[in-house]
Structure 1
């Protein structure tokens, strides 16, 4: 099994860097705005307080430019300055931006009680994720008391390539998008694709054949997960998946595939029935190279 992912910049970060470079000659592209948003995205779990030097290192934006951006964002309320630490935190105004997006997903409220029941039953976490480039972002989560080292929260991004939820969400992209999406994943992070690409493609095949896919500690060694496609909103291009993560020591051999997988697929079907969504179609990919030979 491949080693767990290191703690580093995500594929989403690299995609943004590439976008800035590719847009250098686009007169309609607001580069300063893009850099300001990149400064806001530099803040994440475990990095709630950052100085200008920290932000410059994380984003690749020169420190003098970062200083101007953080000053402007502070004046607007999207950052706040901690005088004791001489560093910045996200401001409350930044939180306002999330509410309209979450409010546009009312199915979360209908799904939450069902998610909580399964989480309590298996003593793990059950979460819904939304595909966002080479990341999938939690938009709802439920958990039992002690879920181990990984505690999902709304707004938290995880990689697509090395997670069950990412693979399940990518599985329901329209066929016209799927090949381009996979190629972009490989281009954004060639090292990660070389380590997990075959497992990613195999996970999509699992979704097609069984309605769910598994991930046995690839993202976090202590957590084994299973995920199912939830639904694809054609009008907005949003792909949702639902997963269940359980500390590995709580699982019996084969339990994830034989019991938890069918339960997460059934939960996805129940949520779709509540919100009158059809079962999404799986975009089958070519077989991984190892299977094709």
Structure 2
């Protein structure tokens, strides 16, 4: 990101570096030292040390003197509330999601597309849901998940082309493994209104997802999914029963919040230029 914006005179590089420090604290990494952050961000350790000091003074990080490491400060949590408050449909959807989760003994979540990830913005679950316990703010990959594919399926055509190209260029190994299934999931959404993912992201969890809605003025694409431990599913149950139900749940939520059914256009990877094909 920093390299791409090197020629932009209006780009605030120091601010961008500070945000990269905050983003280094991903799931499973509550405590990081300056060297850890340096490795994750690619920034020199002295630069990181100045940034972590400043962010600690402002309350966005806190320093554990015993471990000589940083964790996110409470002030960082304030930034999430205005964004979540701008999605009031979550409160309307929550009881419907909870009923669904309880009925299938799994999880039901709403995700928001964010680059190559989809971020959980609401989630409900039954008591025992296996190894994957989603929570608000958790990111998962787009390419290898039903949720990501369902959200990407409702992007407008011009935006979709740029988005797909960005995914292909961003993580070549992941795209090589899952790119074909990614387009297959979008085709499923166009044909059936939902797509399935049988353990690609987590082997023990099978999932189904449906596009929810696209907000044109903000470019936000939402999808809703259901994840169930694989051992609880009968052969074909995900496609024959859970898929149509998650599609109906998405339609019910849209009806309650006054959103139209999103347009889904099946798409496929563009063939490489002749020079690249040899």
TM-score tier by shorter-chain length is over 0.9
Change beyond 3 A, Cα 1:171–1:286: farther
Match of 1:255 among 228, 233, 237: 237
Distance 1:286 1:137, change over 3 A: farther
**Structure 1 residues 205, 290: CA separation in 2 closer, same or farther (over 3 Å shift)?**
farther
Q: Which runs of 5+ in 1 are unaligned?
A: 1-18
Structure 1 residues 40-98: Cα deviation after superposition (integer angstroms, max 9, x where no partner):
00112210011001111111111110000000000000000111111101001000000
Once the two structures are TM-superposed, the CA of residue 286 in structure 1 deviates from its matched residue by 9.1
8 Å contact 1:173–1:283 — kept in the other structure? no
Contact 1:201–1:287 (8 Å) recurs in 2: no
Residues in 1 aligned to 2:277 and 2:226: alpha-carbon distance in whole angstroms: 30
Q: Distance in 2 between matches of 1:287 and 1:42?
A: 35
Between the aligned partners of 1:248 and 1:186, the Cα distance in structure 2 is 29
CA distance in 2, matches of 1:283, 1:185: 17
**1:175–1:283 contact (8 Å) kept in structure 2:** no
Summarize deviations over 1:219-278 as a string: whole Å, max 9, x none.
000000000000000010000000000000000000000000000000000000000000
Instruction: Please say if residues 223 and 246 of structure 1, whose CA atoms lie closer than 8 Å, have aligned partners that are also in contact.
Output: yes
In 2, are the aligned partners of 1:174 and 1:283 still within 8 Å (CA)? no
* Cα offset, 1:26, TM superposition: 1.4
Once the two structures are superposed, what CA deviation does each residue of 1:9-42 show, in whole Å capped at 9, x if it has no partner? xxxxxxxxxx211111211111111110010001
CA RMSD of aligned residues (A): 2.8
Task: Find the counterpart in structure 1 of residue 277 from structure 2.
Answer: 292
Structure 1 distance, partners of 2:232, 2:250, is 23
Q: 2:36 aligns with which of 54, 62, 75?
A: 54
For the 8 Å contact 1:167–1:204, the answer to whether it is kept is yes
Shift of 1:283: 5.3
Q: Structure 1's 55 and 291: CA in aligned 2 closer, same or farther, altered over 3 A? A: closer
Structure 1 pair 130–223 and aligned structure 2 pair: CA distance change class (3 A): same
Q: Which has the higher contact order (CA 8 A, sep 6+)?
A: 1
Q: Secondary structure at the match of 2:121?
A: strand
Uncovered stretches (5+) of structure 2, i.e. residues with no partner: none
Query: How many equivalent residue pairs?
Result: 275
Q: Contact between 1:168 and 1:203, CA under 8 Å: does it hold in 2? A: yes
Over 3 Å counting, the alpha-carbon distance change for 1:54 and 1:175 in structure 2 is same
Q: Which moved more, 1:84-93 or 1:96-105?
A: 84-93
2:135 and 2:274 mapped to 1: Cα distance? Answer: 35
Q: TM-score, normalised by structure 2?
A: 0.95
Asked if the contact 1:226–1:261 (Cα under 8 Å) also holds between the matched residues in 2, the reply is yes
Cα distance 1:93–1:259, how it changes in 2: closer, same or farther (>3 A)? same
Q: What is the alpha-carbon distance in structure 1 between the residues aligned to residue 77 and residue 273 of structure 2?
A: 41
